[in-house]
Amino acid sequence: MKTRKKIKVGTILLYIIMFILSLIWIYPYVWLFLASVKPSEEIFTRFLPTQLTLEHYRFIFETATRMERPFVRALLNSIFIAFTITFSVVFTSAFIGYGLSKLRYRGRNAVFNFIIFQMLFPGFMFVVPLFVLIRTLGLLNTYSAVILPSLISAWGVFMFAQAYKAIPQDYIEAAKMDGASTFWIILRVMLPLTRSTASIVGLFTFIGAWDNFMWPLIVMKDYYKMPLAVLLASFNHEYGSYVGPLMAGAVIQTIPMVFIFLAFRKYFLQGISMSLK
């Protein structure tokens, strides 16, 4: 009787601690959101606003545009860049991964080993020479400068190649009997069977592209083509005292990532446990 009571107290304490910690972990988000909707003078003085206001959002979307800081444009740029990269990575990985796991030919293993070798090198090593390449191609200050280097991902190809290995060859043979072409097999048989891999690759690629900061900062000096992260950083640099509008900008930058995370959280968790294998 006595030990059972002890365990119960311990369990309740654990729940209380976990709740408090969870609230502390969410607190910065709550503060950020509230700061973006309260009057400027209350941002540092009150937690809950006395009145709600959209003036900071109006500032970031209207006034800032007149200050040559076009945030609406930047948001659209970010959406365009992140979606293009994500679609390209998922489809190219699905096709190339098929070539590396389901087709037999000489040299296949060499290509596969080369991909693994590539993944050993951290991306930051290539920043300077990649800039030289983009400059030589005359692509500085274009969307291509941000998009082209991320169109195909070694990691994505690797993920799909691994996932396809678990699919029995019979499925492919059966589809071939029915006269299906390779493209049809990949799009209609393989991709649906590896939906969770596709989601993981898509999710992590999207978050990476949306959040990418250093590379677009280097190649994009044109305010009208900047992704949101870079424009927000430059606005923070020049107008750091406009706390309210900055918070509104930070909310806009964060919301797509949080929503996509919440929608695909199942795959996010799968992706995490996969990193163990």
Partner 1 sequence: MREALLGWQFSGVYLVYAAIFWGYPFVWLLILAFSRWRFFGKPKPIGFDNFVRLFQDPIFWRIFWNTMNFMAYFIPMVVLGAFLFALALSKVKYFRTFFTLSFLVANVSSGVAYSILFSNLFSETGPVNSFLYKTFGVTIPWFSDPQLALLSIAIIVTWKFIGYYGLILFAGMQAIPKSLYEAAELDGASKWTQFWRITVPLVNPALTTVLVFAINLTFGIFTEPYMITGGGPMRRTLTFLLHIYTTAFQRMNPSYAATLAIVTGALSYGCVILVRKLVEREVHLT
Task: Find the binding residues for partner 1 in span 132-161 (CB under 8 A).
Answer: 132-133, 135, 148-149, 151-152, 154, 157
Which residue from 16, 138, 166, 236 is in contact with partner 1, where contact means CB under 8 A? 236
If the CB atoms of residues 100 and 198 are measured against partner 1, the closer one turns out to be 100
Which of 14-22, 55-63, 167-175, 191-199 is the region at the interface with partner 1 (rule: CB under 8 A)? 14-22
- Is residue 103 at the binding interface for partner 1, with CB under 8 A as the rule? yes
Which residue from 214, 224, 238, 263 is in contact with partner 1, where contact means CB under 8 A? 214
Which residue from 11, 83, 165, 174 is in contact with partner 1, where contact means CB under 8 A? 11
Which residue from 91, 95, 143, 239 is in contact with partner 1, where contact means CB under 8 A? 95
Contact 82, 209 (CB under 8 A): yes
Angle at 80 between CA 77 and CA 81, to 5 degrees: 85
Give the ranges where 44-153 is alpha helix by DSSP (H): 55-58, 64-66, 71-101, 108-119, 127-136, 143-147
- Is residue 17 at the binding interface for partner 1, with CB under 8 A as the rule? yes
Task: Find the binding residues for partner 1 in span 60-79 (CB under 8 A).
Answer: none
Provide the CA 47 distance to its chain's centre, in angstroms.
30
Angle at 256 between CA 156 and CA 139, to 5 degrees: 60
If the CB atoms of residues 174 and 269 are measured against partner 1, the closer one turns out to be 269
Name the residue with tokens 């060859």. 169
Which residue from 83, 114, 184, 224 is in contact with partner 1, where contact means CB under 8 A? 114
Distance CA 124, CA 76 (A): 27
Q: Is 179 left (phi over 0), alpha (psi -120 to 50) or beta?
A: left
Distance CA 277, CA 144 (A): 35
- Is residue 250 at the binding interface for partner 1, with CB under 8 A as the rule? yes
Distances, alpha carbon 143 to alpha carbons 34, 55, 76, 81, 92, in Å: 34, 31, 12, 8, 20
Which of 50-58, 123-131, 166-174, 192-200 is the region at the interface with partner 1 (rule: CB under 8 A)? 123-131
Distance CA 165, CA 162 (A): 5
Determine which helix (DSSP H) or strand (DSSP E) holds 163, and give its type and residue range: helix 154-165
Which residue from 54, 67, 174, 269 is in contact with partner 1, where contact means CB under 8 A? 269
Following CA atoms 5, 10, 16, 21 in sequence, which dihedral angle do they give, to the nearest 10 degrees?
-170
Which of 49-57, 60-68, 69-77, 94-102 is the region at the interface with partner 1 (rule: CB under 8 A)? 94-102
- Is residue 29 at the binding interface for partner 1, with CB under 8 A as the rule? yes
Task: Find the binding residues for partner 1 in span 176-205 (CB under 8 A).
Answer: 182
Which residue from 9, 52, 125, 177 is in contact with partner 1, where contact means CB under 8 A? 125
Which residue from 106, 168, 178, 192 is in contact with partner 1, where contact means CB under 8 A? 106
Least Å from the CB of residue 240 to partner 1:
9
